[in-house]
Amino acid sequence: MAKIIGGVATSHVPAIGRAIAKELQADPYWAPFFEGYAPLHRWLAQARPDVVVVFYNDHGLNFFLDKMPTFAVGAAETYRNADEGWGIPEVPPFTGQRELSWHLINSLVAEDFDLTTCQEMLVDHAFTLPMALCWPDQRWPVTVVPVCINTVQFPLPSAARCWRLGEAVGRAVRHWDSDARVMVLGTGGLSHQLDGQRAGFINRDFDRAFMQSLIDDPTWATRFSIPELVEKTGTQGVELLMWLAMRGALGEQVHEVSRNYHIPISNTAAGLMVLATDD
C-alpha cells in the first residue's frame, strides 16, 4: 500500500513568483522568507516523495464566480499553469497521477463527499509557487493530484469539513495499491486580508497558535466557524483551511521537521511547516 511520508504547508503569495523570476532570494526583504525553505529541501532530498497531493485554492484561473465547486479533484494527464495577471512567469507543466486521482475520487464519493472531477484543469499560483518552493529547479520529480478547496466565494466549507476531507484523503491514499511515497502539500495563509477596510490585517498571535496546534492539538481550529476565522485571520487568511486538510491527511503521529514564520510578504504573514509521519 502507498505510504504518506509527510506533509508541507506553505503560503503562496504571488510576489514569490516574481522574486524567483528576478532571483531576489538573497535580497534583504526576501532572505528571511527563502532561508526558511533550506530545511525543507534537505528533508525532501531524504524523504524522496514520488507523488504529491496538493490542497490549494484556485483564485479565478480555473474556476470563476459563475461556477465554483466546494471541492474539486484533478484527474488530468497534465496540469498547465497560465497567465493569471500577477506578472508571474509560467512554470513547466505538471504530470498527473491519474490512478491516484481516480482512487481518491472513488473513495471520497463513497464517503459522501460531493466533488467536481476535473479531467482538464489549469493550476494557479496557489499550486505552482509552493511546488517551485519545494523544487526550485522546476524539474518536478513527482507526479501530482490537485485537490481544490473553495475559499474564494461564500459559502465556504467549514474547518471541520476540511479536516474530515483531509482525513478521508489520508485514508484513501493509505489504501491505494501502490508502493508510492506520497507527500501532502497544503497551500495558503497565513493571516491576510487583501480587501476592504481591514486590508493589510495580520494576526501574529493567532497564526502562531494555529501552527503550534498542528503539532499539539490538530483539530483546534475546527472549533471556529468561517466568520470567526475571517475575523481572526482576515478574509484571505481562511486559506489556512488547506493547512488543516493537509494535517488531517497525515494521521495521528507526526513530528515537526521545521517551521518558519515571517511578516510580511506582500500583505501576508508567510508561514511554512514541514511535518514527517512517524510510521
Write out the catalytic residue numbers. 125, 192
* Site size toward ligand DHB, by CB under 6 A: 13
Stretch that binds ligand DHB, among 64-72, 73-81, 197-205, 265-273 (CB under 6 A): 265-273
Could you tell me the smallest distance in angstroms from the CB atom of residue 239 to ligand DHB? 6
Cβ-based nearer residue to ligand DHB, 238 or 254: 238
Element (H, E) at 258: strand 254-265
CB 121 within 8 A of CB 82: no
Rounded to an integer, what distance in angstroms lies between the CA atom of residue 129 and that of residue 248? 22
Distances (CA, A) of 190 to 84, 109, 196, 199, 229: 21, 30, 18, 14, 11
CB 278 within 8 A of CB 52: no
Strands 116-118 and 71-74: parallel
Element (H, E) at 263: strand 254-265
Q: Which three cell numbers stand for residue 203?
A: 494576526
Could you tell me the smallest distance in angstroms from the CB atom of residue 131 to ligand DHB? 15
Could you tell me the smallest distance in angstroms from the CB atom of residue 189 to ligand DHB? 7
Does 191 bind ligand DHB (CB under 6 A)? Our answer is no
Does 236 bind ligand DHB (CB under 6 A)? Our answer is yes
Taking CB under 6 A as the criterion, the residue among 100, 268, 275, 276 binding ligand DHB is 268
Does 203 bind ligand DHB (CB under 6 A)? Our answer is no
Question: Pattern of binders to ligand DHB over 83-122, x per CB under 6 A?
Answer: ----------------------------------------
Rounded to an integer, what distance in angstroms lies between the CA atom of residue 169 and that of residue 250? 9
Please state, as a whole number, how many other Cβ atoms lie within 10 Å of the Cβ of residue 27: 12
Among positions 39-58, residues that touch ligand DHB (CB under 6 A) are: none
Taking CB under 6 A as the criterion, the residue among 103, 161, 192, 247 binding ligand DHB is 192
Q: Report the interface residues with ligand DHB, using CB under 6 A.
A: 12-15, 59, 188, 192, 194, 236, 239, 266-268
